[in-house]
Amino acid sequence: MKGSTTGAAAMPDSGTPLHLADGQALAVSGGSVLGAIAALLALDQLLLLVYLGIAAPMLVIPGLAGTIWLALLVRRGAAGLGAIPLTRLALCLLAAFIVLVLGGEGRLFYANIDWQVRDAVLRDMAVNPWPFAYVADGTPTLLRAPIGMYLLPALAWKAGGTTAGTAVLILQNTALIGGLLALGSVLFETARDRLLGLVTMLAFGGLDVVGNILSRHPMIDHLDGWSPGLQFSSTMTLAFWVPQHAFAGWIAGLLYMLHRTDRIRLGTFLAIIPLTALWSPLAMIGALPWAALAGVQTLMQRQLRAADILVPVLATLLVIPGLAFLAAAGDDVGIRPYFINPRLYLLCIEMEVLPWMFPALALRARSPFGVAAPVLATAVLVAIPFVQIGWSIDFMMRGSIPSQTVLGLIMADSLARTPHWRTRGWHWFIAVMLCLASVTGLHEIRRAITLPAVGGGTCTFFKAWDQEFAHYPKGSYLAPLPKVSPWLIGPNLTLVPVREPAQCWERHWIRPLGV
């Protein structure tokens, strides 16, 4: 049997998306929230067909039917989530909106330099006809990247201009991350516990400020970068720098915990994983150990049902074009061993993993998640730095997100289960570690408020990339057309010459110290 849960007993799904629960509070079923997320992710797979120019009726009609069917099956498999009051859902959406706007979306505040490339990708997808290929140095090149976050905003930009594209990007990301917060709230019983869980996750990360001091480097602005060549990103760093990777990793870690506490079926969990590939293939890879653990636990408990196999199969069929698209010219990305300075590696593990591993293992007896969750999370985080995909440490930073999410939720659960804070116990250790970890996120917020906002670039992906990332190959974003399977590109391909303005932005885009 799986462990007991911190939250209230799962409320039965009434069969309607909107109903009364918790007395007279208007509520939406958690299954409907998760089904809507699945539908939006599956819609990206259909929009990809349009982007590639292969949106023939024989693909779109079955894909649309499969998307609707999948959303209904996911909703059915998440009936154990119960009902989420609309006021709570609205607060979760508001929290997500505030974090994303602070992170630079909409450009009311400073955006980190990763948005230089991200803005250019969105603009290129918006101003060029679909399908298109760049012509640079005489070679036609396809923009081949995890473009799930850009597809809907690019269409909005095409229809209504820059403002529409920016607005849809913010609304889309707010809906997805706010939906995750609402789903995560069902793990906690009281409003106090839910608030404690939110604060824990927002503060969660490594002890970067301590690592910065121990490494004897001058204090840097972007604290996550204190250990050159190694990095586990904090929650606020992920939200501010890479919301698409963050969402894909967070949903994987959260859904494992919801499955572990009997709130969603195995098939529901497994069906979401492939749908995230178009947002972050690296985070999806990091979710695979958790999918495997969930499968093994279900088999050991003899609870496997036909739907646990059939629903993920349906989701996988929907993402076949997307997986083929991401795999195009895969030899230009590559996977290889990554060689690490042993002293820096040990210090990194001490600062980023051990502060959460020790209390998670010590408190395993009262945790609903058992011992397997903290053990697997630790094993993944200890091993992942030795694998490199691409030319930087992106796999370490993105593939680790599901495991970090699991550890963060275990910490939040432990604090929520603490009845008497004045007594001695691990809760004080966890609280002190969270205070130290929160310094990283506070630094991110300080930079967002104090540095000038920059946006509205006019250069293409090529020049935007070369502003700050010229020392890295562009293979993670581009695929030479001869290396792309012919069936992935429609017959009406437009070749777009790369023409650049004198400068990308009207003012200097400040680079944080430590990047």
pLDDT tens track for 272-330: 999 999 999 999 999 999 999 999 999 999 999 999 999 999 999 999 999 999 999 87
In the chain, the percentage of residues whose pLDDT exceeds 70 is: 95
Pick the more confident residue, 436 or 334. Answer: 436
pLDDT value of residue 418: 87
> What would the two tokens of residue 441 be?
């996120």
**Residue 18: pLDDT over 60:** no
Cβ-proximal residues to 278 (8 Å cutoff; 6+ apart), any chain: 41, 44, 45, 48, 146, 147, 148, 319, 322, 325, 326
Residues 130, 494: Cα–Cα separation, whole Å: 7
Chain center to CA of 460: 25
Would you list the domain boundaries of the chain? 25-497
Give 15: exposed, middle or buried? Use CB within 10 Å, 0-12, 13-18, 19+. Answer: exposed
What is the rounded end-to-end Cα distance, in angstroms, of the chain?
46
Average pLDDT (68-75) is: 97
pLDDT of residue 9 exceeding 60, the answer is no
* CA–CA–CA angle 324, 176, 64 (5° rounding): 50
Confidence (pLDDT) at 8: 37
CA-wise closest residue to 474 among 142, 89, 178: 142
Comparing 179-193, 201-215, 332-346, 433-447, the range with the smallest average pLDDT is 332-346
**Does residue 5 carry a pLDDT above 50?**
no
Residue count of the chain, please give it: 515
pLDDT mean over 74-88: 97
Element (H, E) at 25: strand 25-29
pLDDT band at 7 (very low <50, low <70, confident <90, very high): very low
Confidence of residue 399 (pLDDT cuts 50, 70, 90): very high
Residue 15: band (very low, low, confident or very high) from pLDDT cuts 50, 70, 90? very low
Helical axes 401-416 vs 243-260, angle rounded to 10°: 50
Which of the four pLDDT bands, split at 50, 70 and 90, describes residue 17?
low
Cβ atoms of residues 289 and 253 within 8 Å = no
Identify the pLDDT of residue 156: 98
- Mean pLDDT for the stretch of residues 360-365: 92
Check whether 13 has a pLDDT greater than 90: no
Average pLDDT, the chain: 92
Average pLDDT over residues 221-226: 90
pLDDT single digits (tens) 47-63:
999 999 999 999 999 99
Per-residue pLDDT at 20:
55
Using an 8 Å Cβ cutoff, are 411 and 418 in contact? no
**Residue 6 clears pLDDT 70, i.e. is over it:** no
Q: Which residue has the tokens 């190694």?
A: 230
Q: In angstroms, rounded to a whole number, what is the distance separating the alpha carbons of residues 25 and 33? A: 17
CA–CA distance, 397 with 319 (Å, rounded to integer):
24
For residue 473, name the pLDDT band (cuts at 50, 70, 90). confident
Rounded-to-integer distance, Cα 110 and Cα 101, Å: 9
Q: What is the pLDDT of residues 89-110, one digit of tens each?
A: 999 999 999 999 999 999 999 9
Range of weakest confidence among 32-46, 373-387, 409-423, 433-447 = 409-423
- Rounded to an integer, what distance in angstroms lies between the CA atom of residue 459 and that of residue 426? 52
Contact 403, 380 (CB under 8 A): yes
Instruction: Let me know the angle formed at the C-alpha of 487 by 484 and 493, rounded to the nearest 5 degrees.
Output: 75
β-strand partners of 479 = 142
Greatest mean pLDDT among 10-14, 225-229, 349-353: 349-353
For residue 492, the tally of other CB atoms under 10 A from its CB is 10
Span 131-156, pLDDT tens digits: 999 998 888 999 999 999 999 999 99
Report, as an integer, the average pLDDT of 417-441: 91
pTM of the complete model = 0.94
Partners of 132 in beta bridges: 494
Residue 384 DSSP symbol: G
